[in-house]
């Protein structure tokens, strides 16, 4: 008989998932690298400043996380938190969108700004956050930036801005676009006063932010692999009717073509900035500039 020629398949008992065991596994325990696919323990990822130890991929960071990773512990003092977004154009559902962004991000706006130190060197700092309506630049973002730069000018200290943005905020129309000129004018006064401005582009930095303060630094830096540009690839290709290089609009591409001064790994960013600040300090010491307080 044919059935005698083939052994019977063994039956294995199935084990049903234990729901109580599943409930005991904490969420956010592991992360998967978007570039190399490696599974990373969250605590190891945090120790590595949210970069993959296998391929160097830079995970996104929130504004509070970046401030903690960049400034001396306990040195940050936030300014202008009282400036809140309105609805100047009565744009449909805009107030609800802003409120949802506040609840999701825990921030009042797409930027944190204030005063702090790096290796003891004083500076004013502004850090954008992509979670808040894609880090878009509205009138409050522009006002906080301008005030940050103006304080740095008045106190005679450098200013550092970390950018991550989808560009100008369409719900505020011309009020949003005006921020490009306002922040640029503040930076010009800062430069005329002989003070240092360091711009650090992170992934992604696009639109009106790229077209203004993100590329106006005395020193223009970026994180590895950051996408930096004005318009999107498809729009540019359809306009010029040419296919762009695969690495187009990456930090490395911009560095090669002279639009950036350096691409700095996140783990090296704090010591890199400390070195630059020490070189700019009047006496090469942390107290080379007078404190803002």
Binding region for Zn(2+): 33, 36, 52, 55
C-alpha 284/C-alpha 38 separation (Å) is 42
Dihedral angle of Cα 223, 226, 230, 233, to the nearest 10 degrees: 160
Q: What residue numbers does the annotated binding site cover?
A: 33, 36, 52, 55
Query: Helix 139-155 vs helix 173-192: angle between axes, to the nearest 10 degrees?
Result: 10
C-alpha 190/C-alpha 156 separation (Å) is 9
Read off the DSSP letter of residue 139.
H
- Other C-beta atoms closer than 10 Å to the C-beta of 259 total 15
- The continuous run of DSSP H or E covering 114 comes out as strand 111-118
C-alpha 238/C-alpha 45 separation (Å) is 39
């Amino acid at each position: 008989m044919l059935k005698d020629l083939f052994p019977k398949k063994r039956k294995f008992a199935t084990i049903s998932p234990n729901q109580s065991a599943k409930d005991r596994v904490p969420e956010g325990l592991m992360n998967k690298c978007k570039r190399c696919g490696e599974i990373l323990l969250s605590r190891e990822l945090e120790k590595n400043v949210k970069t993959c130890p296998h391929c160097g991929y830079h995970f996104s960071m929130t504004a509070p996380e970046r401030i903690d990773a960049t400034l001396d512990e306990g040195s940050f003092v936030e300014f202008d938190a009282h400036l809140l977004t309105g609805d100047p154009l009565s744009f449909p559902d805009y107030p609800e969108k802003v409120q949802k962004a506040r609840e999701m991000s825990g921030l009042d706006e797409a930027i944190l700004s204030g005063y702090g130190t790096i290796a003891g060197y004083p500076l004013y700092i502004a850090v954008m956050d992509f979670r808040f309506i894609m880090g878009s630049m509205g009138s409050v973002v522009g006002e906080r930036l301008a005030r940050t730069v103006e304080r740095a000018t008045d106190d005679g200290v450098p200013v550092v801005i970390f950018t991550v943005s989808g560009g100008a905020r369409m719900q505020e129309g011309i009020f949003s676009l005006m921020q490009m000129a306002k922040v640029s004018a503040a930076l010009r006064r800062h430069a005329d006063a002989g003070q240092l401005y360091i711009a650090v582009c992170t992934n992604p930095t696009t639109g009106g932010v790229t077209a203004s303060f993100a590329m106006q630094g005395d020193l223009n830096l970026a994180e590895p692999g950051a996408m930096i540009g004005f318009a999107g690839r498809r729009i540019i290709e359809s306009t010029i009717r040419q296919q762009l290089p695969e690495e187009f609009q990456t930090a490395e591409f911009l560095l090669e073509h002279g639009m950036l001064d350096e691409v700095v790994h996140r783990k090296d960013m704090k010591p890199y900035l400390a070195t630059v600040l020490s070189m700019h300090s009047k006496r090469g010491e942390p107290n080379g500039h007078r404190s803002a307080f």
